[in-house]
Structure 1
Amino acid sequence: MAATSNSTDVPDGYNTFIPGTITTPDRVETRIGTPDFTDGFPSDETAAKVFDNLDFMRAVEVFLQCVPPASMEGLRTGLTALGCDAAHKVAIADRLLDSTPLFLTGNTDTVYAIAILDLHRDGPTVVEVPPGCGPGTVDDAWFRFVVDMGAPGPDRGKGGKYLIAPVDYEGDVPDGYHVAHSPSHVNLLLLRGFLVDGKPDAATAMFEGGIRIYPLSAAEDRPTMEFISVSGKAINTIHANDHSFYEEVADVIHREPIGVIDPETRGLLAAIGIHKDRPFEPDERMLDILSDAAAVGNATARAICFQTRDQRAYFYPNRKWKTGFVGSDYRWLDGDGRGGRDMDARTLFFYQATVNTPAMAIEMVGAGSQYALSDRDATGAFLHGANNYRLTLPAGVPAKDFWSVVVYDPQTRSELQTGQRLPSRNSQNASGELAYNEDGSIDLTFGPEPPSERVGNWIQTVPSKSWYAIMRLYGPLKSWFDKSWVPNDIERI
């Protein structure tokens, strides 16, 4: 093997047998410029440049990995601003979740009841779920699944008592409770109630009359439940997309027990100045880096969501409909964990959605829910509000409970704000507005102005804005899972 060296002059008496593949040349062309070395020692300028780049790379990775806790923090602060500052104060969409409040891909067609639990403040917390409750879920501060309630939960929609306790709780548990342990202090409780005769009244009455949330220690002196309407309220529950994103994450880390995340993630956060027991105080240099990293992280998340390169995201080889659960695992473990966690798939979900449960990811015929997203028309072009479109759903839409189609703003990933309070259509057709075709199929239309006929099938768009759609199936049937029923693409007309 020929001897190699970074230096042209080798002193007498020295032999150099250093393979070229393991040396560092004095100058190396890279995407961050041309680092400068002297016999492998980086210059001061090079060291400063690569450390800036290292901080930037880690900050981008923090953005992508920490969308779930930042999103949970956005929900917590938004609901607190609404007045839901205690577990017994429940936000309720008593007039449905319209487009005024900002919620990541919220649903217009179920009655939501939402509470923030704090196990550090209240200790083990009881949640009494009434009979008839639809799908409900508790997620921890990192948006990891804790337990299902209602129809997909152990009470199977018959109602029951749940105890949400810290992971280290060793106290007594009264008989008759479904017990779940959470690694975090803050937890999100979200329950859904179905419409009756197309109206939210019965579900609202069920929740207001049947939900009870209280500390186990206060079982004999329960606080009076309070229900605060979120319908029509201008609140924001979405995480930041600038450098304040990192402040949201730091708040979560400061509040939660250290074991809520693994040492590697704690180390990644510490690398950009986010520590459990220290204030987050980035200097001017770091603030500039964090601002740039948040912009790149946001752009990356948007590309992962709306320009995915993972073909597994598509339900069908010849359609534009995509899943939010790439890999069909609510933990985003690729190949049952043998391939590790699919971080891009997790980002694809959490950048545009909330509430994490197996009932949304796995095959549960007649229970749970399934979701399909489309942001392009049949030609592959992004959907735009200035155009008119048609979506034909073949007869026999595979939903035991109901189906719906809701349109969203890709900027906010919240309901598109149009002249319609509820930018959606669903099969709970109490008013008889929906018109079906003779073969049982249905044509939904989208556009800025109402059509001359079948206005009840029309969803309004905004001429200056793009949009995308999510089709929901509650109680999905076998024909959805075996793909014998296939929705058409959205077609421009």
Structure 2
Amino acid sequence: MKYLVFVCMLLVAASAHGVEKAAQQVFDNEIERKAVQAVVWGIPAVNYDLMRQEMLTKTSGKVGQVIYWGRPLDWKNQTLTPNPDALYFMAFFTTRDGPVVLDLPAAESGASFNGNIVNAWQLPLEDAGLLGIDKGKGGKFVILPPDYKDKLPDGFIPLQSEIYGGYMLFRSNLKSHSDTDVQASIDYGKKLKIYPLSVAGNPPETIFADVKNILFDSTIKWDESFFDNLNRVIQEEPWIVRDRVMIDQLKSIGIEKDKPFKPDRHVQSLLTKGVKEAQALLEAKYDAGLPPFFTEKSRWTFPAYPDLIKASQSNFDEPDAYPVDHRGVAYSYAYIGIKRLGAGQFYSISIRDKDGNNFDGGKTYRLNVPPNVPVEQYWSVTAYDRQTHALIKNVSRASRSSQISELVKNEDGSIDLYFGPSAPRGKEANWVPTDPKRKFELMFRAYGPTKDFFDKKWVLPDVALMRK
């Protein structure tokens, strides 16, 4: 009898253990699932914080100052799909202590910029520069903290933000890549100023730091550190009303405002699984392709999903739309937000050749750029690492553009560009190197596109594999 009771007790204990184990699996599944959702939702803020942390930990730059690349970007700039045919200036800001002024220069003879100002979620606050809201006149743009009500002095352009942090990307345009023109672009870029509105009457000198020789790597880190970046932004910034649904979602994975984020080893393993699953999801969606741009079957696509472009232009304030998934895909391969995409610049992406195959860095491809590209400024084509979406490491250059005087033209005025591990004989000037061990992708940039560009009166053909 005692033996029977003992056996029954063991069975009850085993059953209870089984129930407990099943319940634990349910909770683990929830953490992993919520981690995936947090990555897709939070990637714009993480993207922003990765760049900010690179500045703070690897350069002498600080929030409220300006870092810049004192030469056309090379592979040491490992941000997502940057433009190697303009000089980059970046200014991170916070309005926690009051409004911040971005005092931007007017265009001059042979000198201009294209700029975008965004908050920490990379929501565009305004476009500035030659084709921005100021139409090249420059101006004193003032970033206002949440709920700011005071009247601004005359002559300032108010930009109301829902949160405190953000940054500006200021692209100082280049006539060419010559040393003289690069220096002129640097000198022009250094005319921008950043300072608190409270000292606008006598602003201090803006501090600039040249970071051209620093490995600046803000590519997405697909591991548990993703959540450290996300937690940092959550702790610093107020909740945007439309995102309050994420409060409990993040609490489920240990991210809660005003509380330390210290997941134990078991939770860390679940977060790692979640971020890897999110990576696979976002990569699969990107690989499925964006909508074609030039023709219905073109391999050149829009730079982002049309619903995301529309939402961004309306401050993500549409009553029946909030394309979080599409936003997540976009900020896995790019950064910055553009208020009026197409007014100042337009981008088109190609991840496959005309036959529908992925670009292979060990093969050589040709792109024929037809003559008379309908742009007011310049066009360019840049090659990126397909996996990281950054400039291909350890190559001599990343792009070719209409700014390059030595480009060889065909008799009809078109230009053949070549992408591959080595230049076809006699085509060195028109060649962009690739890594033979890695896949790559291409981006076509049109700066100052005209109406003919959007009316498709000029069409960029697909990239063709060169047959041996």
TM-score by length of 1: 0.85
**Residue 434 (structure 2) pairs with residue 461 (structure 1):** yes
Tell me whether 319-328 or 128-137 shows the greater mean CA deviation.
Answer: 319-328
Distance 1:261 1:200, change over 3 A: farther
Q: How many residues align?
A: 441
**Residue 393 (structure 2) pairs with residue 417 (structure 1):** yes
- 1: CA distance, partners of 2:73 / 2:293: 28
Tell me which amino acid in the other structure corresponds to 1:207: G
Q: Match for 1:480 among 438, 453, 461? A: 453
Contact 1:183 1:260 (C-alpha < 8 Å) held by counterparts: no
How far the C-alpha of 1:473 sits from its partner, in A, is: 0.2
Q: Which residue of 2 aligns with 1:85?
A: 62
**Residue 223 (structure 2) pairs with residue 242 (structure 1):** yes
How far the C-alpha of 1:60 sits from its partner, in A, is: 0.5
SS of aligned partner of 1:252: helix
**Residue 43 (structure 2) pairs with residue 61 (structure 1):** no
- 2: CA distance, partners of 1:140 / 1:260: 15
- 2: CA distance, partners of 1:468 / 1:232: 25
Tell me which amino acid in the other structure corresponds to 2:360: H
Q: Which residue of 2 aligns with 1:324?
A: 303
Q: Which residue of 2 aligns with 1:426?
A: 401
- 2: CA distance, partners of 1:414 / 1:219: 38
Q: Match for 2:136 among 157, 160, 164? A: 157
Unaligned 5+ segments in structure 2 are 1-14
Q: Which residue of 2 aligns with 1:131?
A: 106
**Residue 255 (structure 2) pairs with residue 274 (structure 1):** yes
Q: Which residue of 2 aligns with 1:290?
A: 271
**RMSD of aligned residue pairs (Cα, Å):** 2.2
Q: Match for 1:376 among 352, 359, 382? A: 352
Contact 1:69 1:141 (C-alpha < 8 Å) held by counterparts: yes
Q: Which residue of 2 aligns with 1:444?
A: 417
Q: Which residue of 2 aligns with 1:215?
A: 196
Tell me which amino acid in the other structure corresponds to 2:90: I
Tell me which amino acid in the other structure corresponds to 1:453: G
SS of aligned partner of 1:111: strand
- 2: CA distance, partners of 1:138 / 1:419: 31
**Residue 160 (structure 2) pairs with residue 181 (structure 1):** yes
SS of aligned partner of 1:80: helix
Contact 1:164 1:181 (C-alpha < 8 Å) held by counterparts: yes
Tell me whether 336-345 or 467-476 shows the greater mean CA deviation.
Answer: 336-345
Q: Which has the higher contact order (CA 8 A, sep 6+)?
A: 2
Tell me which amino acid in the other structure corresponds to 1:351: S
Tell me whether 281-290 or 102-111 shows the greater mean CA deviation.
Answer: 281-290
- 2: CA distance, partners of 1:263 / 1:411: 32
Structure 1 stretches (4+) deviating beyond 6 angstroms? 333-336
SS of aligned partner of 1:471: strand
**Residue 95 (structure 2) pairs with residue 95 (structure 1):** no
Contact 2:308 2:326 (C-alpha < 8 Å) held by counterparts: no
- 2: CA distance, partners of 1:329 / 1:398: 25
- 2: CA distance, partners of 1:400 / 1:153: 14
How far the C-alpha of 1:258 sits from its partner, in A, is: 3.4
- 2: CA distance, partners of 1:261 / 1:332: 13
How far the C-alpha of 1:261 sits from its partner, in A, is: 5.8
- 2: CA distance, partners of 1:184 / 1:254: 12
How far the C-alpha of 1:260 sits from its partner, in A, is: 7.0
Alignment of 1:2-401 (within 5 A): 43-81=19-57, 82-87=59-64, 89-120=65-96, 122-132=97-107, 133-198=112-177, 199-208=181-190, 210-259=191-240, 262-308=243-289, 312=291, 315-327=294-306, 329-330=308-309, 332=311, 337=318, 340-360=321-341, 363-364=342-343, 368-401=344-377
How far the C-alpha of 1:331 sits from its partner, in A, is: 5.5
TM-score by length of 2: 0.89
Deviations 1:268-310 (A, max 9, x none): 21221111111111122211110100111111111122233x6
Unaligned 5+ segments in structure 1 are 1-36
- 2: CA distance, partners of 1:375 / 1:95: 27
SS of aligned partner of 1:266: helix
Deviations 1:405-436 (A, max 9, x none): 0110122211112431x31000013xx31111
Contact 1:332 1:343 (C-alpha < 8 Å) held by counterparts: no
Tell me which amino acid in the other structure corresponds to 1:463: P
- 1: CA distance, partners of 2:462 / 2:158: 43
Contact 1:117 1:187 (C-alpha < 8 Å) held by counterparts: yes
Distance 1:77 1:313, change over 3 A: farther
- 2: CA distance, partners of 1:458 / 1:195: 20
Tell me which amino acid in the other structure corresponds to 1:224: E
Deviations 1:134-160 (A, max 9, x none): 221111111111122212333211111
- 1: CA distance, partners of 2:324 / 2:147: 28
Distance 1:265 1:316, change over 3 A: farther
How far the C-alpha of 1:220 sits from its partner, in A, is: 3.9
Contact 1:97 1:230 (C-alpha < 8 Å) held by counterparts: no
Contact 1:313 1:326 (C-alpha < 8 Å) held by counterparts: no
Distance 1:211 1:336, change over 3 A: closer
- 2: CA distance, partners of 1:156 / 1:90: 23
- 1: CA distance, partners of 2:114 / 2:182: 16
How far the C-alpha of 1:257 sits from its partner, in A, is: 2.0
Tell me which amino acid in the other structure corresponds to 2:403: Q
Tell me which amino acid in the other structure corresponds to 1:201: Q
How far the C-alpha of 1:171 sits from its partner, in A, is: 2.5
- 1: CA distance, partners of 2:242 / 2:212: 34
